[in-house]
């Protein structure tokens, strides 16, 4: 649309009137503005000062409201540090199957005959079997009777597991004496007691005399007993000679064995960490003295004192014909004790386990009872025993006689036999270069192939070297073996190396 214009005269008159009005009004407006500026100047200055102070304060305070600056972007992770896109192939030993190829007897014989040689006097016998089938892969005089040394402990392990059961525990009890002033510490076969508190996660020291003393004090308090107590010990569970006459005096003096009692501290050692040297000659009294000391400490706050010295008990107290038990602690399981016995080759513990196997069968817990119990359990297992000779059950005596075949048979029974209770012994076999009596062996070039693979019970006397155990060969076949050297030159290093090299050869053997 076209805009409409006004007449020129009217436009000029309007402009003139506007200028006149502005001219007349301007002086007064300026004056008023000046007065306003002068009136509000102090307030403006104060606002300017506050603004000047507020800016740096805001710089300091603002991060508390808005948070720190975002971190710089992390550098890219190198490819080698990234999680794998897929898992690598599984490595290690495959599960054993009967499809693994068995070694050929002639190949095994060729391997072992060149290695199993004596260093000086004497000779070796040996037997190797396929564990799954029982097929004999190597036989050098395997049925000949030999002194087996500590390989005898394999027989004792089997007998204890069968007669007692892997989960069985031995009890050490405190019962009331013939009058209220006496307490009787009663041995039940636990010779791994500690003087301190019970240690449930340990085999040695699983049951502690300090814990037993505390429980005894609690029971006496509940009965209202105060005053002085006498401590007696009851070690009547074992019978017959405490010290086997078949053991050499030198071995006893060196601490390889000691008189046997049904309770002891640290497997009849003064210190559990020191496994050589003299042992207590009366471990029952030694344990009772330690218990009396703990009872004295625990009973002080309860008004109980303990007379000096300990004696042997002839007649524990009874109520209506029953023994009054005050407290009890229990040992590690038989399976755990068998494991410790095999791994450390503990003669004392082996002898005690043999006697406890006899007691479980209702026989006297004596040396004769122990040897008879072990023989009976082997026979029940199907191992031929008529030619065997037992002088003890630890292997310390030179009068023991057994064959490599019998030892291989018992290892096979443990590894693959039908009596699954015997599997509990597997953990006790020393591992080459890693544990127990094999921890410092299999470290040179001639035996290193067996390190970590050979698992075997050792045996050593002056003129005897024995090694019986099991190994998985290079093809994944489980083999059991026994090598026994008799009449050897004492101290000749090559004899131990001979049995270790033979076992290592089995570990590396394809032998096909």
Each residue's pLDDT tens digit, 223-261:
999 999 999 999 999 999 999 999 999 999 999 999 999
**SS3 call for 429:** coil
Residue 175 inside a domain? The answer is: yes
Residue 148 is classified by DSSP as -
Number of domains the chain contains: 2
- For 354-360, what is the mean pLDDT? 98
Domain identity same for 441 and 498: yes
Residue 66 inside a domain? The answer is: no
Residue 51 inside a domain? The answer is: no
Q: What is the pLDDT of residues 475-493, one digit of tens each?
A: 999 999 999 999 999 999 9
CATH code, domain carrying 294: 3.50.80.20
Is the CB of residue 278 less than 8 Å from the CB of residue 259?
no
448 vs 70: which has the higher pLDDT: 448
So what's the pLDDT on residue 140?
A: 98
So what's the pLDDT on residue 61?
A: 46
Inform me whether the pLDDT recorded for 43 exceeds 90.
Answer: no
d(CA 64, CA 66): 6
- For 464-469, what is the mean pLDDT? 98
Active-site residue (options: 283, 313, 345, 403): 345
DSSP β-ladder status, 123-130 and 325-330: unpaired
| 210: enclosing H helix or E strand | helix 209-222
Inform me whether the pLDDT recorded for 21 exceeds 70.
Answer: no
Domain identity same for 428 and 312: no
Inform me whether the pLDDT recorded for 53 exceeds 60.
Answer: no
Among candidates 137, 130, 126, which has minimal Cα distance to 104? 137
Among candidates 298, 283, 306, which has minimal Cα distance to 190? 283
Residues 6+ apart with CB under 8 A from 409: 129, 383
- For 118-123, what is the mean pLDDT? 97
d(CA 412, CA 132): 8
Residue written as token pair 């105060």: 226
pTM for this structure?
A: 0.82
- For 79-94, what is the mean pLDDT? 64
Is the CB of residue 510 less than 8 Å from the CB of residue 448?
no
CATH code, domain carrying 404: 3.40.710.10
Domain identity same for 302 and 286: yes
User: What are the CA-CA distances from residue 299 to residues 130, 195, 196 (Å)?
Assistant: 60, 16, 15
Confidence of residue 44 (pLDDT cuts 50, 70, 90): very low
So what's the pLDDT on residue 249?
A: 95
Residue 25 inside a domain? The answer is: no
So what's the pLDDT on residue 79?
A: 72
So what's the pLDDT on residue 30?
A: 35
- For 136-150, what is the mean pLDDT? 98
Is the CB of residue 481 less than 8 Å from the CB of residue 408?
yes
So what's the pLDDT on residue 88?
A: 62
Residue 83 inside a domain? The answer is: no
Domain identity same for 326 and 373: no
Q: What percent of the chain stands above pLDDT 90?
A: 77
So what's the pLDDT on residue 18?
A: 36
296 vs 33: which has the higher pLDDT: 296
d(CA 93, CA 473): 11
Inform me whether the pLDDT recorded for 118 exceeds 50.
Answer: yes
Most confident of 63-72, 308-317, 358-367: 358-367
So what's the pLDDT on residue 207?
A: 98
Is the CB of residue 376 less than 8 Å from the CB of residue 390?
no
Residue 202 inside a domain? The answer is: yes
- For 50-66, what is the mean pLDDT? 48
Q: What percent of the chain stands above pLDDT 70?
A: 82
Domain identity same for 266 and 208: yes
How many other β-carbons are positioned within 10 Å of the β-carbon of residue 6? 8
So what's the pLDDT on residue 320?
A: 62
User: What are the CA-CA distances from residue 481 to residues 53, 146, 242 (Å)?
Assistant: 93, 15, 34
So what's the pLDDT on residue 146?
A: 98
So what's the pLDDT on residue 83?
A: 76
So what's the pLDDT on residue 37?
A: 39
62 vs 448: which has the higher pLDDT: 448
So what's the pLDDT on residue 318?
A: 66
Inform me whether the pLDDT recorded for 20 exceeds 90.
Answer: no
Domain identity same for 230 and 315: yes
Domain identity same for 119 and 218: no
Domain with 467 in it: 105-165+338-348+362-507
DSSP β-ladder status, 322-323 and 325-330: unpaired
Among candidates 489, 492, 405, which has minimal Cα distance to 140? 405
Distance of CA 150 to the CA centre of its chain: 23
Residue 38 inside a domain? The answer is: no
Inform me whether the pLDDT recorded for 74 exceeds 80.
Answer: no
So what's the pLDDT on residue 73?
A: 64
**SS3 call for 279:** coil
So what's the pLDDT on residue 106?
A: 97
Residues 6+ apart with CB under 8 A from 370: 351, 354, 355, 357, 358, 392, 393
Domain identity same for 315 and 342: no
Is the CB of residue 422 less than 8 Å from the CB of residue 434?
no
Domain identity same for 300 and 262: yes
Domain identity same for 114 and 149: yes
Domain identity same for 326 and 191: yes
Active site residue 150: yes
d(CA 253, CA 275): 13
Sheet arrangement for strand 182-186: 304-312, 227-234, 182-186, 171-176, 325-330
Q: Rounded mean pLDDT of the chain?
A: 87
- For 385-405, what is the mean pLDDT? 98
Inform me whether the pLDDT recorded for 16 exceeds 60.
Answer: no
Active-site residue (options: 118, 153, 457, 468): 153
So what's the pLDDT on residue 157?
A: 98
Confidence of residue 95 (pLDDT cuts 50, 70, 90): low
So what's the pLDDT on residue 180?
A: 87
So what's the pLDDT on residue 510?
A: 85
Residue 413 inside a domain? The answer is: yes
Domain identity same for 462 and 396: yes
Burial class of 92 by CB neighbour count within 10 A (0 to 12, 13 to 18, 19+): exposed
Confidence of residue 69 (pLDDT cuts 50, 70, 90): low
Active site residue 345: yes
């Amino acid at each position: 649309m076209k805009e409409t214009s006004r007449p020129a005269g009217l436009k000029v008159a309007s402009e003139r009137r506007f200028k006149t009005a502005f001219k007349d009004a301007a002086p007064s407006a300026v004056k008023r503005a000046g007065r306003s500026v002068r009136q509000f100047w102090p307030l403006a200055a104060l606002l300017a000062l506050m603004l000047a102070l507020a800016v740096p304060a805001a710089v300091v305070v603002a991060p508390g409201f808005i948070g720190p600056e975002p971190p710089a972007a992390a550098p890219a992770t190198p490819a080698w540090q990234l999680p794998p896109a897929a898992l690598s192939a599984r490595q290690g030993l495959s599960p054993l199957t009967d499809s693994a190829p068995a070694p050929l007897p002639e190949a095994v014989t060729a391997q072992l005959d060149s290695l199993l040689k004596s260093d000086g006097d004497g000779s070796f016998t040996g037997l190797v079997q396929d564990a799954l089938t029982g097929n004999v892969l190597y036989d050098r005089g395997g049925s000949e009777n030999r002194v087996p040394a500590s390989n005898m402990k394999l027989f004792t392990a089997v007998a204890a597991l069968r007669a007692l059961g892997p989960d069985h525990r031995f009890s050490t009890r405190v019962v009331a004496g013939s009058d209220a002033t006496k307490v009787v510490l009663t041995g039940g076969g636990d010779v791994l007691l500690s003087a301190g508190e019970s240690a449930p996660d340990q085999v040695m020291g699983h049951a502690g005399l300090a814990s037993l003393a505390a429980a005894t004090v609690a029971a006496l308090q509940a009965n209202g007993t105060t005053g002085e107590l006498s401590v007696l010990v009851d070690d009547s569970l074992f019978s017959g000679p405490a010290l086997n006459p078949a053991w050499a005096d030198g071995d006893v003096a060196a601490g390889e064995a000691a008189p046997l009692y049904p309770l002891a501290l640290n497997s009849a050692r003064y210190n559990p960490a020191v496994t050589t040297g003299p042992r207590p000659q009366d471990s029952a009294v030694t344990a009772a003295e330690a218990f009396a000391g703990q009872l004295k400490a625990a009973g002080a706050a309860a008004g109980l004192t303990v007379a000096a010295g300990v004696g042997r008990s002839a007649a524990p107290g009874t109520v209506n014909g029953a023994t009054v038990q005050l407290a009890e602690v229990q040992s590690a399981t038989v399976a755990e004790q068998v494991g410790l016995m095999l791994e450390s080759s503990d003669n004392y513990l082996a002898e005690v386990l043999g006697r406890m196997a006899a007691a479980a069968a209702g026989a006297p817990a004596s040396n004769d009872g122990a040897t008879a119990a072990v023989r009976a359990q082997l026979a029940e297992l199907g191992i031929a025993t008529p030619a065997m000779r037992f002088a003890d059950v630890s292997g310390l005596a030179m009068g023991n006689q057994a064959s490599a075949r019998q030892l291989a048979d018992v290892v096979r029974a443990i590894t693959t036999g039908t009596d699954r209770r015997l599997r509990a012994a597997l953990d006790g076999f020393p591992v080459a270069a890693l544990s127990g009596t094999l921890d410092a062996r299999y470290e040179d070039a001639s035996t290193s192939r067996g390190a970590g693979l050979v698992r075997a019970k050792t045996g050593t006397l002056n003129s005897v070297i024995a090694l019986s155990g099991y190994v998985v060969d290079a093809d994944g076949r489980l083999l059991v073996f026994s090598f026994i050297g008799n009449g050897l030159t004492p101290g000749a290093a090559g004899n131990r190396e001979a049995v270790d090299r033979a076992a290592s050869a089995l570990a590396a053997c394809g032998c096909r």
